[in-house]
Chains A and B, each alone.
Chain A
Amino acid sequence: MITVGIDIGSLSTKSAVLKDKQEVLAYDVIYTGGNNRQSAQTTFRNVLDKAGLTEDQVDVVVTTGYGRENVPFSNKNFSEITCHAKGMYFLNPEIRTILDIGGQDSKAIQLDDDGNVLNFLMNDKCAAGCGRFLDIIARALNVQLEEMGEISLASTSAARISSMCSVFAETEVVSLVAVGTPAPDIVKGVHDSIATRSIALLKSVGIREPLGMSGGVAKNIGIINSLQEKLKMKVHVTDYPQVTGAIGAAYLG
């Protein structure tokens, strides 16, 4: 049985193909852009190409994410909370708490032994501490988003960055650059700021170990380090953090 999961997020659209709900055949990540219906179509074609499959061979397509109800070829859809839970359960069934940092929202999800959601919390009102926040800071520092984790490892003294607002944080960063604060310290400060926010979210929902992290931000070693330093516990990251939701959607197919 071939199932495809498509996760249409605010920043990126992800897809994954599962065979018999046991094996990840392929995955794909593209920018969502202004037309999420189109981006779903594009990533669907991409992931099938990568898996060497045709549309006729697909049994079920499941969508998730903000654009989940806007995909005509979707057979069913689930919220990304459920999909991240199932995706994490598929990738690492030991995990009992998930931190997912997406483009515009962060989620703390508590799981039961079967990968069902027991409880969850999401950020409200403000996207400070999310993927978009890192995106803005990377641009302000003129570095690549993907390099931020490595850059932060050279920090000797993290700068203090408020976590009030993504846009205002950019101003803060520009001010720090102006007074000669080294880029690694600024980036480390940004990571600490995100970690602090995320930990408040995690503690509100209750942390049951082991803790896993999903979402594109989980690929950032700087964030993982900040979280581990502050939590004093290991943060597990799977081989497919960015497509956990898409894998979960395919698993639910």
Chain B
Amino acid sequence: MILTREFKLIDGNDRKLQARKMRENLTSYNMDNYIEPSFPKTARYRSLFNAYYITECFKEQTKVAYVGEVFPNELLFAFGFISLNFESISTLFSQSEAIDMCLRLTEENYLPRDLCSSVRAAYGAALANCLPRPDMIIINNHLCDGLSKLGFQFSKIYDTVYSTFNVPLQETDESVAYLAEQFQHVLQEIEQATGMAYDDARFRQVIALSNEAKDYFLKTIDIAKKVHIPGLQRELYEIMAVNCWGMKEMVKICRTLYDETQEKLAAGETAPRMKRMLWVGLAPDQSHEMVQYLEHKIELVYWTTYWEGNLMLLDSGQTLETMARRSISYLWNSVRMREQTAYVCDENEIDCIILVNTWGCRNMMGLGQAVREMALLKKIKFLSVDVDIRDKNNYSFSQVKNRIDAFLEIL
């Protein structure tokens, strides 16, 4: 038994213990599949920042919040919080053999294998008690209801504050106002939970940092759309996955990538144009066999990098409203899926699309048809594969490779 009847961790809720357990479990990174980074300065800053971030999370005085993907982290950074999202936790563990331990723990504790492995992996890490005790959990109750329920369960496990908000599916003035109002309410909940007062000057500083980082990011994206620089699309995706817009280190990382890209352009370190494949759906880290296989044969463009909700700048005059607009546009619905994927295809001159259905993700599976129809209309070759980027028990590379090979032959 790992949890008490009241859902509490039996071996305690202490960050020192949790840090030790994290060190014990995260021992075997997939070094065999390590790839030399194409943008070494950026990758170094990014890695250092990630390491710093994780280390800080386990310090007793650090305020840690667990959030869902669409929550504007800037609100938390303004209070000096560190935010962790469940998907990133799963990605971290899936880069090591510890992922098997996490998933095994969930099965031993009655979670079915059919549940999305991003949710299961994060839950398994909590059951292994190697995550830092959160001070607060803030999560949207929609679209991913699995994540929402996981957040609630975490609040019981760690005996912490649980705050939820509802993100409307459609963007209208009313829905934006409705969500902005909820963010206002979340701010009050953070104040209550921490005893800290909202500091408007600090908030504005965070917003400025968020926009500054994104500005460099957008400028780099503009280059990536036009020129093939090996490794650039991947680095853009990795930075998007860091998702700490509003922290000063993000500015440094994004500026470094922009500078390195300019240096490569000046040195003529571009490559002939390859066929461009748009990866739609959750993407694994670079050590994953599927990514490595594809990146040898084609230029992979990650849909997440170009998704409108990830790229919007915040209006300092109407910050909560633009945050709300950003969160709404982040969500998938069939119309948005079609329109935005079409836009990304046009902007990047995409030759083909691979739709990666993660086992157990009903959202992606339900929306795949919208992408397929768009691809048909635009006469873009389309491949849909069912994979599990975390749980190797739910996926066989040889099966997927067979489909990919056939698809590449068509191209």
**Residues of A in contact with B (beta carbons under 8 Å apart):** 66, 78-82, 105, 116-122, 124-125
A79 touches B385 (CB 8 A): no
From residue A84, how far is it (CB to closest CB) to chain B in Å? Answer: 10
B386 touches A79 (CB 8 A): no
Q: Mark B302-328, 1 if CB is under 8 A from A, else 0.
A: 000000000000000000000000000
Name the residue on B nearest A81 (C-beta): B406
* CA distance in complex: A66, B398 (Å): 8
The answer, among B381, B382, B384, B406, for a CB contact under 8 Å with A79, is: B406
Name the residue on B nearest A126 (C-beta): B386
* CA distance in complex: A122, B400 (Å): 10
16 contacts between A and B (CB under 8 A): A66-B402, A78-B409, A79-B402, A81-B406, A116-B410, A117-B406, A117-B409, A117-B410, A118-B410, A120-B410, A121-B384, A122-B403, A124-B385, A124-B399, A125-B359, A125-B386
Which residues of the other chain, A, contact B289 by a CB distance below 8 angstroms?
Answer: none
B405 touches A79 (CB 8 A): yes
Which residues of the other chain, A, contact B399 by a CB distance below 8 angstroms?
Answer: 105, 124
Which residues of the other chain, A, contact B386 by a CB distance below 8 angstroms?
Answer: 124-125
From residue A118, how far is it (CB to closest CB) to chain B in Å? Answer: 8
The answer, among A82, A118, A119, for a CB contact under 8 Å with B409, is: A82
Whether A81 contacts B409 in the complex (CB less than 8 A), given A66-B398, A66-B402, A122-B403, comes out as: yes
Which residues of the other chain, B, contact A105 by a CB distance below 8 angstroms?
Answer: 399, 402
B409 touches A79 (CB 8 A): yes
* CA distance in complex: A81, B407 (Å): 9
Which residues of the other chain, B, contact A66 by a CB distance below 8 angstroms?
Answer: 398, 402
Give the residues from 182 to 222 in chain B that come closer than 8 angstroms, CB to CB, to chain A.
Answer: none
Which residues of the other chain, A, contact B405 by a CB distance below 8 angstroms?
Answer: 79
Which residues of the other chain, B, contact A78 by a CB distance below 8 angstroms?
Answer: 409
The answer, among B359, B384, B406, for a CB contact under 8 Å with A82, is: B406
* CA distance in complex: A122, B386 (Å): 10
Known: A82-B409, A122-B402; 12 extra A-B contacts, CB below 8 A, are A66-B398, A66-B402, A80-B406, A81-B406, A81-B409, A82-B410, A116-B410, A119-B381, A119-B410, A120-B406, A124-B399, A125-B359
Q: Mark B390-411, 1 if CB is under 8 A from A, else 0.
A: 0000000011001101110110
Which residues of the other chain, B, contact A120 by a CB distance below 8 angstroms?
Answer: 406-407, 410
Name the residue on A nearest B408 (C-beta): A79
Which residues of the other chain, B, contact A79 by a CB distance below 8 angstroms?
Answer: 402, 405-406, 409
Which residues of the other chain, A, contact B409 by a CB distance below 8 angstroms?
Answer: 78-79, 81-82, 117
* CA distance in complex: A121, B403 (Å): 9
* CA distance in complex: A125, B398 (Å): 12
Top 9 nearest A-B pairs (CB, nearest first) are A81-B406, A79-B406, A124-B386, A79-B405, A82-B409, A117-B410, A125-B386, A79-B409, A122-B403
Name the residue on A nearest B404 (C-beta): A79
Which residues of the other chain, A, contact B381 by a CB distance below 8 angstroms?
Answer: 119
* CA distance in complex: A116, B382 (Å): 16
* CA distance in complex: A80, B359 (Å): 25
From residue B64, how far is it (CB to closest CB) to chain A in Å? Answer: 37
Name the residue on A nearest B405 (C-beta): A79
Which residues of the other chain, B, contact A118 by a CB distance below 8 angstroms?
Answer: 410
Q: Mark B3-35, 1 if CB is under 8 A from A, else 0.
A: 000000000000000000000000000000000
From residue B399, how far is it (CB to closest CB) to chain A in Å? Answer: 8
Name the residue on A nearest B382 (C-beta): A119
Which residues of the other chain, B, contact A119 by a CB distance below 8 angstroms?
Answer: 381-382, 410
* CA distance in complex: A81, B405 (Å): 9
* CA distance in complex: A80, B410 (Å): 12
Which residues of the other chain, B, contact A121 by a CB distance below 8 angstroms?
Answer: 384
Which residues of the other chain, B, contact A80 by a CB distance below 8 angstroms?
Answer: 402, 406
Which residues of the other chain, A, contact B407 by a CB distance below 8 angstroms?
Answer: 120
Name the residue on B nearest A125 (C-beta): B386
Which residues of the other chain, B, contact A116 by a CB distance below 8 angstroms?
Answer: 410
Which residues of the other chain, B, contact A81 by a CB distance below 8 angstroms?
Answer: 406, 409-410
* CA distance in complex: A120, B381 (Å): 10
Name the residue on A nearest B375 (C-beta): A119
Most buried by B among A80, A82, A125: A125
* CA distance in complex: A79, B408 (Å): 10
Most buried by B among A66, A79, A116, A119: A79
Name the residue on A nearest B395 (C-beta): A125
* CA distance in complex: A66, B407 (Å): 15
Which residues of the other chain, A, contact B398 by a CB distance below 8 angstroms?
Answer: 66
* CA distance in complex: A80, B409 (Å): 11
Give the residues from 350 to 373 in chain B that come closer than 8 angstroms, CB to CB, to chain A.
Answer: 359
